[in-house]
Structure 1
Amino acid sequence: MGVLIKAAYAAPAVGLAALGLPLLIYLPDYYATVVGLPLGLVGMAFLVARLADIAIDPMVGVLIDRTRSRYGRFRLWLALGTPLLMLSVHGLFMPPSGAGFSYLAVCLAGTYAAWSLCFVSHLGWGGTLSRDYGGRNAIFAWCQVLFLVGGLAVTALPLLPPLRIAPQATLPAMGWFVLTSFPLGVAAALLLVPERDGGPRPMPAWRDYGRLLGQGAVARLLAADFLSSTAVYAAGGVFFFYYGTFHGLDRMRTAALLFAVKAGAMVGAPVWGWLGNRLEKHRAMALGFSGMALMCLVVHLLPWSGLTAGLIILGLFGTFLSADPVLVRSMMADLGDERRLTTGIDHMGTLAALLSVSDKLAAAIGPALALTALSMAGFDTPAPAPQQSGIALLTLGAAAIWIPMALNITAAALVWMHRLPADRRRAMGPDLTPLPGDGR
């Protein structure tokens, strides 16, 4: 598979990243400070919208797996979901004056529902582009690199001089970036990347989905992904609060740290793809989760002050963040092949949906619990650290450092038990030999 095809497939990830970062970090802050909603209501809006949306992902996965179309199953639903996502993004990022809790919750629900169509179809499509153990790592590494390009671009927007002068214009600028980059990326993928037809497929029976969830390897991988993602989202939801309070950084310097995290993750993406081939995917993933736990300690306990030291430490932390998106997705696609060979049923769309559910549950629970806990502890957003209560500081440290560290250690233990290494996967049958053009 050529570089152009991999890049074209990964192109929609630029817009998805540009959307995901504001949803995690900038939107809660914007609706709390610029729109003026109470912090607790903002966290609750994200929780309600995410929970209402989570049921959609399995439905999307089932719909994709049961689709029979001359345009392909994944490409068709990606094309249909794109205009729906753009409409929702416009409403969410350009709220009218007086927007309240209901407006935020509805716009979030619409955005997440359309995201389901696009994300699940795009992720499942990637799982079918190669049947080579290492080739899949390369595909998802490309996807992660371009995802981080989008993240870096949207992170850099607040650093531009016009937005420094008018920070309230930052979120609408991010919205316009999404509205431009995502449709262009989808167009490139649809025009340049074929969807491989695996031949006639039996229609999955409803009982097959229950059996899929009962498969131990799938359940362990989903649990590990959920725990680590919850750690990332919880820490991300209090990112500005933590670095402003414990390290005394203003918003501009904290935004620079966020940029360093994304830059480090971009460097790490091809590294984890390579390590997945050299160490086996599950060993490399356990190393990645353990590294994130260790970096939590480094960030919090290593004495450092000033922006330069922070950029180096956060950049190193970022390199570990790419392990999950590259390796867990590749491992889940391998499990999809195993399932197809042992049962005759192709569940690639459903497995992609389950990963999306895991991510959305983590994104709902992590920030909501972190923000709600801060509110209950009496954390005062404008007040400097000396004016915060002891319980507020303890809660902030737990949400940003200690709980994420424990969750990543648990995820490392779970993924270490994964039992589909390269030699077993290649021995499963001739159906898993590389397709023409496959490669690393």
Structure 2
Amino acid sequence: MRILTKAAYAAPSVGLAALGLPLLIYLPDYYGTVVGLPLGLVGTAFLVARLADIAVDPVVGILTDRTRSRFGRFRLWLAVGTPLLMLAVHYLFMPPPNAGFLHLALGLAGTYTAWSLCFVSHLGWGGTLSEDYDERNSVFAWWQALFLVGGLVVTALPLTPALRATPQQMLPAMGWFVLLSLPLGVAAALSLVPEHRGSRRRAPARRDYLKLLGQPSITRLLAADFLSSAAIYAGGAMFFFYYGTFHGLDRLQTATLLFAVKAGAMVGAYAWRRLGTRLEKHRAMTLAFGGLATMYLILHLIPWTTLPIGLIILGAFGVFLSADPVLVRSMMADLADEHRLATGTDQMGILASLLSVSDKLAAAVGPALALTALSTAGFDTRAASALQTPQALTVLAVAAIWVPMASHMTSAFLVSRHPLTAARQQSVRSELAVLD
């Protein structure tokens, strides 16, 4: 597959990433500090919007599995979802002065629903671009690399002097970047990348969808992805609070650490693509989850108060973060082949939607539990670290470090038992070629 094809396919990831980071870190902080909503209420808004939106993902997956169109099954729904997402982003990222809980809840619901259309269709499309075990790593490495480009741009916006002085302008600036980059990326993908329709011997029936979660390899991979993602999202919600409290960094310095994480993840996108081939995907993923657990210990137990040391540590942390987006998605595409061989149905769309459901559940549960626990412990977001109670400091450390570390260790154990090796996947592809 040509590099231009993989780059064009990955182009929408820039806008999707630019949306993801503000939703994870800056929007909760903005609506909690600038708008003045209580942290518990902000966490509730994110939880309710995410849970209500989760039902959309399987619907999109089923639609893509059943869609018959000359335009393609995945490309069609990506084209439909893009303008809807742009409208929702404008509403959520440019709130009026009197915005309250209802505005936040409606904006989140619209944004997440439209994001489902774009994300699931784009992810499923990537799983069909190549049937090769190793090249699938390359496809999703490009996806992750351009995703990180969008994240790096958004992470750099708070470092801009004009936006640094006026935080009320920062969120709209992030929104405008999404509104510009997303349609350009989608236009590049739709115009330059054909959709490989594959061979579907029969349309999926209801029983085929029910059988999916009964397959141990699929449920194990989803569980590992969920636990790891929940840990990352919870840590993201705690990011400014943790580094301001335990390491004495101001908001600008903490935003610089976020940039280091994204820069490290850029290196990781290439590294895990190579390691996934050399070690096989499940072994490389086990190494990555174990590495993340170790990095949490280093972050918390090794004393550091200077920004350069923090940049090095967070950069190394970012390297490990890229493994999941590259390898877990590639592994799920391999499982879609195995499932098609066993059942005779192509259900790449619903499997992509299950990865999206896993991600959204993690993004809802992780920050909601962490923020609620922090609020219950009496953590004061506007007080200096010396004025926080011992209970609040303990809960902050547990939510930001110890629970995420345990989650990654569990994910490492789960993915180490993944049965679909390179040799087995090659055998599956050979059998499918005969049947097709």
Query: Aligning the two structures, in what range does the TM-score lie when normalised by the shorter sequence?
Result: over 0.9
Q: After TM superposition, list the pairs within 5 Å mapping 1:141-180 onto structure 2.
A: 141-180=141-180
SS in 1 for 2:134: helix
Q: Indicate the residue corresponding to 2:12 in structure 1.
A: 12
SS at match of 2:428: coil
Q: Distance in 2 between matches of 1:213 and 1:332?
A: 13
The answer as to whether partners of 1:334 and 1:425 remain within 8 angstroms in 2 is yes
Partner of 2:404, secondary structure, is helix
Q: Which residue of the partner structure matches residue 376 of structure 1?
A: 376
2:170 and 2:27 map into 1 onto residues whose CA distance is 10
Partner of 2:354: 354
Matched, 1:397 2:372: no
Matched position secondary structure for 1:195: coil
The residue aligned with 1:112 is 112
Mapped to 1, the partners of 2:191 and 2:372 lie a distance apart of 45
Q: Which letter maps to 1:288?
A: A
**Post-superposition CA distance 1:161-212 (Å, at most 9, x none):** 1111212110000000000000100000000000012135411100111101
The residue type paired with residue 268 of structure 1 is: G
**Quick one: distance in 2 between partners of 1:46 and 1:429?**
41
Q: What is the alpha-carbon distance in structure 1 between the residues aligned to residue 215 and residue 311 of structure 2? A: 42
Trace 1:51-66 onto structure 2 (pairs within 5 A). 51-66=51-66
Q: 1:87 to 1:429 in 2, by over 3 A?
A: closer
Is the 8 Å Cα contact of residues 426 and 432 (structure 1) preserved in structure 2?
no
Q: What is the CA distance between 1:37 and its match in structure 2? A: 1.0
Q: Take 2:256 and 2:232, find their aligned partners in 1: how far apart are those partners?
A: 18
DSSP-derived class of the 1:303 partner: coil
**Contact 1:289/1:411, CA 8 A, preserved across alignment:** yes
Shift of 1:3: 0.7
User: What is the DSSP-based 3-state SS (H/G/I as helix, E as strand, rest coil) of the residue aligned with 2:169?
Assistant: helix
Letter in structure 2 aligned against 1:392: A
| Residue 284 of structure 2: aligned partner | 284
Q: 1:17-416 maps to which residues of 2 (within 5 A)?
A: 17-416=17-416
Kept after mapping to 1: 8 A contact 2:131/2:429: no
Are 1:21 and 1:151, in contact at CA under 8 Å, matched by a contact in 2? yes
SS of 2:315 mapped into structure 1: helix
User: What corresponds to 1:436 in structure 2?
Assistant: none
For residues 331 and 171 of structure 1, the distance between their equivalents in structure 2, rounded to whole angstroms, comes to 35
| Residue in structure 2 matched with residue 437 of structure 1 by the alignment | none
Do the aligned residues in 2 keep the contact of 1:85 with 1:110 (CA within 8 Å)?
Answer: yes
In structure 1, C-alpha distance between the alignment counterparts of 2:201 and 2:70, rounded to whole Å: 14
- Could you tell me how far apart the structure 2 residues matched to 1:432 and 1:315 are? 42
Shift of 1:327: 0.3
Matches of 1:103 and 1:383 in 2, distance apart? 27
What is the percentage of aligned positions where both structures have the same residue? 73
Instruction: Note if contact 1:131-1:432 (Cα within 8 Å) is conserved in structure 2.
Output: no
Distance in 2 of aligned mates of 1:185 and 1:356: 20
Aligned partners of 2:200 and 2:346 also within 8 Å: no
Per-residue displacement from partner, 1:375-423 (whole Å, max 9, x unpaired)?
A: 0000001111111011100000011100000000000000000000001
Kindly provide the CA deviation profile for residues 149-169 of structure 1, in whole angstroms up to 9, marking residues without a partner as x.
000000000101111121211
Are the counterparts in 2 of residues 57 and 356 from structure 1 also a CA contact under 8 Å?
A: yes
Alpha-carbon separation, structure 2, partners of 1:200 and 1:228: 33
Structure 1 residue identity aligned to 2:343:
T
- Is 2:337–2:428's contact at 8 Å kept on the other side of the alignment? no
Shift of 1:428: 2.1
Q: For 2:432 and 2:280, locate their aligned partners in 1 and report how far apart those are by CA, in whole Å.
A: 17
Aligned-partner Cα distance in 2 for 1:324–1:200:
28
Asked if structure 1 preserves the Cα contact closer than 8 Å seen for 2:200 and 2:344, the reply is: no
Query: CA offset at residue 432 of structure 1?
Result: 5.8
CA offset at residue 430 of structure 1? Answer: 2.2
Q: C-alpha separation between the residues in 1 aligned to 2:323 and 2:432?
A: 24
Is residue 204–residue 345 contact of structure 2 (8 Å, CA) maintained in 1? yes
Q: Please, which moves more after superposition, 263-272 or 420-429?
A: 420-429
Equivalent-residue separation in structure 1 for 2:236 and 2:339 (angstroms): 35
Quote the Cα distance in structure 2 between the aligned partners of 1:431 and 1:68.
Answer: 25
- Counterpart CA distance in 2 for 1:386 and 1:69 is 62
User: Take 1:200 and 1:222, find their aligned partners in 2: how far apart are those partners?
Assistant: 24
TM-score (norm. length: structure 2):
0.98
The question of whether the paired residues in 2 share the 8 Å contact of 1:253 and 1:307 is answered with yes
> 1: distance between equivalents of 2:302 and 2:403?
18
Q: Is the 8 A contact 1:74 1:125 kept in 2?
A: yes
Task: Label 1:200 to 1:429 Cα distance change in 2 as closer, same or farther (>3 A).
Answer: closer
Rounded to whole Å, the distance in 2 between the matches of 1:205 and 1:432 is 20
**CA positional deviation for 1:132:** 0.3
Give the letter aligned to residue 193 of structure 2: V
Specify the SS of the correspondent of 1:4. Answer: helix
TM-score scaled by length of structure 1 = 0.97
